[in-house]
Copies of this chain bind each other. A is one copy, B any other.
Amino acid sequence: MKFSDIVTQLSPESHSLIDNPHLDPDLQGITPIQDAIAHTLSYIEGDKFAKMVVETTASALILPLDSTLQEQATKKGLAWLSSPYPRLTFAQALNLFYQPFIPKPQIHPSSVISDDVVLGKDVSIGANVVIQEGVKLGDNVCIYPNVVIYPHSVIGDRTLLHSNCTIHERTQIGQNCVIHSGAVIGAEGFGFVPIKEGWYKMPQSGYVLLEEGVEIGCNSTVDRPAVGITRIGKNTKLDNLVHIGHNCQIGQNCAFAGQVGLAGGVTVGNRVILGGQVGVANQAIIGDGAIASAQTGISSNVKSGETVSGTPSMPHKIYLKVSAMYKNLPDMYKAFRQSKKQES
């Protein structure tokens, strides 16, 4: 693809063709800046950029709106395009080159599909997929091999279910969702009532609802509740190995990093970001736009817009000060002991 084609398709705020219309390299792909090769487009984030522009062997670069970097690239004979959101432009450029693997519409003869399943137009059902009674698939649904769907689930248009994931009974999955390999959606919540003999199992009669555009990472689990719904809002994205307990109500456009765990009945607003391995206790409420750093332990509520860290969680600004103190504790304790001695 010619550099000029990329410029035409992405319409960047600025680019090198304005001053150098004849510098129009043929680009065969996108490479990471540290391994960039000729005839590729490259990009790097953050301050390491300046040095990389001078060193790279890429033929073209995605730059931020930075005239110094633009001049350096021009001087080096590189084509470039500049964007106020270079990471977004990088993603858009990747989409020009990269086509993810999505099988063509087909129903593999080895799949086992209940007679009453309702299939939309142009669905793709891979080898050894099992779809049980009363399931409905929307148009262009794509189910990779070895997926199992339990009875009476609904899968929205254009949703992808990757291999070895399991969708349990009555789950409702919206349009344009992606369920990654090994994820389990809608299994029984962890509900046991303590009795004299041990535990009485709470029946889990509810279901999981994923709104449109939700993405669930590999081997993550979203449990259904005893009654009612476990809900994940529109466009919320979960990374791998995340656990969402029964009855959680999660808003829109959230992002939870790997190994996050939410206990039962947690309420999460919109645009909430949870770092890796964050844990949230039963019934906690997290407001819109809140952020938690990795490994934060949230045992009570977090206000809208707040950034929290630490276990137990506290405002991030305080955490930075507090955690910087830990290393002083032994000296502080020594002084405390001495003053105690002097007193007595």
Partner-B contacts on A (CB < 8 A): 30-32, 35, 85, 87-88, 90-92, 94-95, 97-98, 100-101, 108, 110, 112, 126-128, 130, 132, 144-146, 148, 150-151, 162-166, 168-169, 180-182, 184, 187-188, 190-193, 195, 197-205, 213, 215, 217-219, 221, 223, 225-228, 234-235, 237, 239-241, 243, 245, 247, 252-253, 255, 257-259, 261, 263, 276-277, 279, 281, 294-295, 297, 299, 310-312, 314, 318, 321-323, 325-333, 335-336, 339-340
8 closest Cβ pairs, A-B complex: A98-B205, A148-B163, A130-B145, A325-B329, A32-B228, A112-B127, A198-B235, A166-B181
Query: Is A330 in contact with B322, judged by CB distance below 8 angstroms?
Result: yes
Query: Is A144 in contact with B151, judged by CB distance below 8 angstroms?
Result: no
Provide the residues of chain B in CB contact with A299, threshold 8 Å: 294
Provide the residues of chain B in CB contact with A227, threshold 8 Å: 30-32, 94
For the complex, give the distance between the alpha carbons of A325 and B85 in Å: 42
Query: Is B190 in contact with A166, judged by CB distance below 8 angstroms?
Result: no
Query: Is A182 in contact with B180, judged by CB distance below 8 angstroms?
Result: no
Quick one: which of A35, A145, A187, A331 has the most chain B CB within 10 A?
Answer: A145
CB contact between A332 and one of B187, B323, B333 (< 8 Å): that residue: B333
Q: A32-B227, A150-B101, A190-B258 are in contact. Are A295 and B311 (CB under 8 A)?
A: yes
5 contacts between A and B (CB under 8 A): A98-B205, A164-B182, A240-B243, A281-B294, A332-B333
When C-beta atoms are compared, the residue in chain B nearest to A330 turns out to be B321
The complex is assembled from copies of this chain, and their number is 3
Q: A193-B91, A258-B245, A294-B281 are in contact. Are A331 and B322 (CB under 8 A)?
A: no
CB contact between A91 and one of B203, B295, B333 (< 8 Å): that residue: B203
When C-beta atoms are compared, the residue in chain B nearest to A204 turns out to be B100
Query: Is B240 in contact with A198, judged by CB distance below 8 angstroms?
Result: no
Query: Is B243 in contact with A243, judged by CB distance below 8 angstroms?
Result: no
For the complex, give the distance between the alpha carbons of A132 and B102 in Å: 12
CB contact between A94 and one of B182, B199, B226, B311 (< 8 Å): that residue: B226
When C-beta atoms are compared, the residue in chain B nearest to A201 turns out to be B91
Provide the residues of chain B in CB contact with A314, threshold 8 Å: 326-327
Query: Is A261 in contact with B235, judged by CB distance below 8 angstroms?
Result: no
Provide the residues of chain B in CB contact with A261, threshold 8 Å: 241, 258-259, 276-277
Q: How far is the CB of A129 from chain B (nearest CB, A)?
A: 9
Query: Is B219 in contact with A184, judged by CB distance below 8 angstroms?
Result: yes
Provide the residues of chain B in CB contact with A162, threshold 8 Å: 166, 187
Query: Is B218 in contact with A187, judged by CB distance below 8 angstroms?
Result: yes
Q: How far is the CB of A173 from chain B (nearest CB, A)?
A: 16
For the complex, give the distance between the alpha carbons of A294 and B217 in Å: 23
Quick one: which of A90, A190, A199, A327 has the most chain B CB within 10 A?
Answer: A190
Provide the residues of chain B in CB contact with A150, threshold 8 Å: 101, 144, 163
